[in-house]
Amino acid sequence: MGRAREAGVALGGLPTGTHNAITDVPGVLVGHETLHSGDAVRTGVTAVVPGPGSAFRDKFPAAVAVFNGFGKAAGLSQIAELGVLETPIVLTNTLAVGAAHEALVRHALAGHDEIGVSTGTVNPLVLECNDGWLNDIRALSVRPEHVARALAAAAPGPVTAGPVGAGTGMVCFGWKGGIGTASRLAAGFTIGALVLTNHGRPAELTIAGVSVGDTVRPEPARRAPEWTRGAGSCVVVLATDAPADARQLGRLARRAAVGLARGGSVMQHGSGEYAVAFATANRVPHAPAGPTRTTTVLAEDGPVFDALFTAVAEATAEAVVDSLFAGVPTAGARGHLIEALPVDRVLPLLRH
């Protein structure tokens, strides 16, 4: 396993943060809980903690973008309506959304005696992809305690990529997919991306503008039928320390589609593509001091937003490629096998 940049593949011209990860945005933490056992359990949980302290009492400006709504996420509608994130973000498999939702509720209740008593309830955010080709998804292996472990493991610094956490059983462009991450520095701010990749047809894979899928494809006997159709999903989580409000974060979230398209995705009918963007600046109090609130946000008429748009596209595209470069051959449920992207065959194409 490795990273594309370590192999000499740089996607875009903006500089990266220290770790080239979403955790380069100060305060953001990532944790994984990987479930890989027996012949059929290939799943897990990835948690993104947006910052220190209580996300419920001091919420994060946030926005969602739904590119193709073939998905079972929980919590998106309230973020779209109110423009705030009030829990960590959990990524997992499609049939584990309920368990993850319960875990986030319990996590919030444990630290907030007021929830459901003197104030409202809480809006957990859970996003998913279907790992049912490699994982026995009907076994419902992910339980609330696994989510709790991912939250407890959340840490700053380097982020493990590939078949870990929620990415354990995912498939991307017919190859082993999973977790990828990248960051960019632009206009004095940091943009970080973390992706859960489970999308794309083998023939469409494009890296650094090169149509890799024209030449390098999985062995036909080992392709899952749904992956030749491109059915799957991709979740993009974006973080920034720029003082963006919810509307502006919506503009950033929508640019994640540019990064996915650079990799060859056309977001097929059966593929759910979602982006969530949050900002760590200008947190929003659950209990405001008065009827108005004063804040500072980015000016949009100038070069800053163009630079941030570029940062989102570059970080998203690189994160997808990193999820592939970090892949390992994985056997799973019902004898299915997914190969890792053969990086030794891909690099000469990119160099040429």
Euclidean distance between CA atoms 105 and 123, whole angstroms: 8
The closest of 277, 332, 245, 258 to 38, measured between CA atoms, is 332
Residue 263's H or E segment, with its range, is none
Please state, in angstroms and as integers, the Cα–Cα distance from residue 187 to each residue in 50, 155, 241, 242, 351, following that order.
21, 26, 11, 9, 30
Sign of CA dihedral 88, 94, 100, 105: positive
Question: Residue 248 has which token pair?
Answer: 């502006």
Catalytic residue check, 219:
no
Among 271, 314, 318, 323, the active-site one is 271
Euclidean distance between CA atoms 138 and 148, whole angstroms: 21
**Identity at 151, one-letter amino acid code:** L
Euclidean distance between CA atoms 247 and 118, whole angstroms: 30
Among 128, 204, 273, 314, the active-site one is 273
The closest of 169, 224, 222 to 200, measured between CA atoms, is 224
Euclidean distance between CA atoms 43 and 302, whole angstroms: 44
Cα 244 to the chain's mean position, in Å?
A: 20
Catalytic residue check, 77:
no
Among 141, 183, 233, 265, the active-site one is 233
Euclidean distance between CA atoms 54 and 76, whole angstroms: 20
Euclidean distance between CA atoms 22 and 92, whole angstroms: 18
> Per residue in 286-305, is it b (16+ CB within 10 Å) or e — as a string?
beeeeeeeeeebbeeeeebb
Catalytic residue check, 273:
yes
In the DSSP assignment, the letter for residue 159 is -
Question: Residue 102 has which token pair?
Answer: 């319960």
Residues designated as active site: 233, 271, 273
